[in-house]
């Protein structure tokens, strides 16, 4: 079995190979492809040569993605496929730009509301209620296709919703006590929590590169916390609890949602509705209608009727930015999503500092930059360790 690379043509000498086959690439550009450890039986039957359309290297020494198409495809077909790929890239770019913009707007209005009306449990509840209502209306009017789900789906979703609820409330409590930028700097430390939980609770092992990537994350967050001018322990702990809760949300989601064919938009809609049911009784118990009414009267007297718009805006934009992020995850790889999430935090931190005139010391800014850089490095390293060395042929 061998690959022969002639100009742009890739020809396979044997017609069929299976999991016992071992292929040696003689080209200097392709590493060895070993299919012996492939758990699935792989069949490739070719009567015509394949033409290389693109190479993509994920890592200099690990993975090369090799895309090919059959020789009998017309140039117009190949051009149409290239145009389709370009359209997909544009679509993903629009998703990312919309996701970041909506997230920035949400954080601005959320902080405005919390400054004037410091009731984070109610604010969190309203965010979930608004999103749930929007999706119910969308399903009822057929704007969005309702998901086909059953009791098993809700059972699998329940632990995810519990973790999501805790993380959402904790982040809102944090932002009610400290600057938006500080909350997001601490929340950039979520990868460290992910590795710690996976290592000590799930028994997973990681290569040294992953652990090394945590050093700038932990060091940067610690430096930013120590030099924060308006440090508040409640705000700090809220962000830390949010990190831990979202790590468990991701773990529960991976374990419970395997094989569920629900779109990202509908998945988040169901998550919001179940989280709303979980959160509402706790919000009433912690704050309660009497505190909400008294605080609202005082806030309206100081801010005016525009407070209503602030509350509505933060609730609507919270759902929209989360919905778009889940829709993005349907279209991209986890690595691309992680990079996008890192860039999102940068846009939120910078915009909130500018809009709210948050005082920042140079050493504090350095800590934030180190933490975010560490998050970016972690996303790169953790993705590459999931790939085995070899050449991936995508037909």
Look at residue 15 in the predicted model and tell me its pLDDT: 39
Closest CA to 62 of 85, 34, 90, 40: 34
Q: How many CA atoms lie within 13 A of 191 on its CB side?
A: 32
Kindly report, residue by residue over 302-341, the tens digit of the pLDDT: 999 899 999 999 999 999 988 888 777 767 666 566 667 7
Which residue numbers in the chain have pLDDT < 70? 1-79, 81-82, 255-260, 330, 332-339, 383-395
**DSSP character string of 260-280:** ----HHHHHHHHHHHHHHHHH
Q: How many CA atoms lie within 13 A of 199 on its CB side?
A: 12
Q: What are the structural domain ranges in the chain?
A: 117-393
Question: How far is 160 from 256, CA to CA, in rounded Å?
Answer: 8
Could you tell me where the DSSP H helices lie in 207-305?
Answer: 208-226, 233-256, 264-286, 289-303
Look at residue 144 in the predicted model and tell me its pLDDT: 87
Look at residue 25 in the predicted model and tell me its pLDDT: 40
User: Three-class SS of residue 25?
Assistant: strand
Look at residue 12 in the predicted model and tell me its pLDDT: 40
Kindly report, residue by residue over 34-55, the tens digit of the pLDDT: 444 444 444 444 455 555 555 5
Against a cut of 0.95, is the pTM above it?
A: no
Look at residue 10 in the predicted model and tell me its pLDDT: 42
Look at residue 93 in the predicted model and tell me its pLDDT: 78
């Amino acid at each position: 079995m061998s690959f022969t690379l002639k100009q742009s043509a890739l020809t396979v000498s044997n017609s069929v190979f299976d999991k016992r086959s071992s292929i040696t690439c003689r080209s200097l550009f392709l590493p060895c492809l070993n299919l012996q450890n492939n758990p699935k039986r792989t069949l490739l039957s070719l009567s015509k040569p394949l033409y290389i359309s693109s190479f993509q290297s994920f890592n200099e020494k690990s993975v090369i993605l090799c895309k090919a198409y059959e020789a009998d495809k017309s140039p117009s077909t190949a051009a149409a496929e290239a145009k389709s790929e370009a359209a997909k890239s544009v679509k993903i770019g629009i998703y990312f730009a919309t996701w970041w913009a909506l997230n920035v707007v949400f954080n601005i209005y959320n902080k405005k509301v919390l400054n004037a009306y410091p009731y984070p449990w109610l604010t969190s509840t309203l965010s979930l209620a608004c999103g749930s209502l929007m999706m119910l209306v969308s399903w009822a009017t057929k704007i969005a296709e309702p998901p086909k789900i059953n009791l098993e789906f809700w059972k699998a979703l329940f632990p995810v919703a519990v973790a999501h609820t805790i993380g959402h409330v904790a982040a809102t409590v944090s932002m009610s006590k400290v600057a938006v930028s500080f909350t997001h700097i601490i929340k950039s430390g979520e990868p460290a929590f992910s590795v710690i939980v996976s290592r000590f609770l799930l028994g997973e092992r990681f290569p040294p590169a992953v652990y090394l990537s945590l050093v700038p994350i932990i060091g940067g967050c610690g430096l930013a916390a120590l030099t924060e001018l308006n440090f508040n322990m409640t705000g700090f702990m809220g962000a830390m609890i949010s990190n831990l809760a979202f790590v468990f949300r991701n773990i529960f989601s991976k374990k419970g949602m395997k094989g569920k064919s629900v779109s990202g938009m509908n998945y988040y809609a169901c998550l919001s509705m179940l989280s709303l049911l979980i959160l509402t009784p706790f919000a009433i118990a912690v704050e309660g209608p009497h505190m909400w009414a008294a605080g609202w009267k005082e806030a309206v007297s100081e801010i005016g009727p525009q407070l209503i718009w602030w509350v509505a805006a933060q609730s609507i934009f919270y759902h929209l930015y989360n919905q778009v992020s889940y829709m993005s995850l349907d279209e991209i790889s986890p690595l691309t999503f992680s990079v996008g999430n890192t860039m999102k935090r940068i846009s939120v931190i910078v915009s909130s500092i500018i809009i709210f005139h948050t005082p920042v010391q140079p050493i504090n800014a350095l800590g934030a930059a180190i933490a975010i850089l560490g998050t970016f490095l972690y996303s790169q390293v953790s993705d590459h360790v999931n790939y085995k060395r070899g050449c991936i042929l995508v037909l």
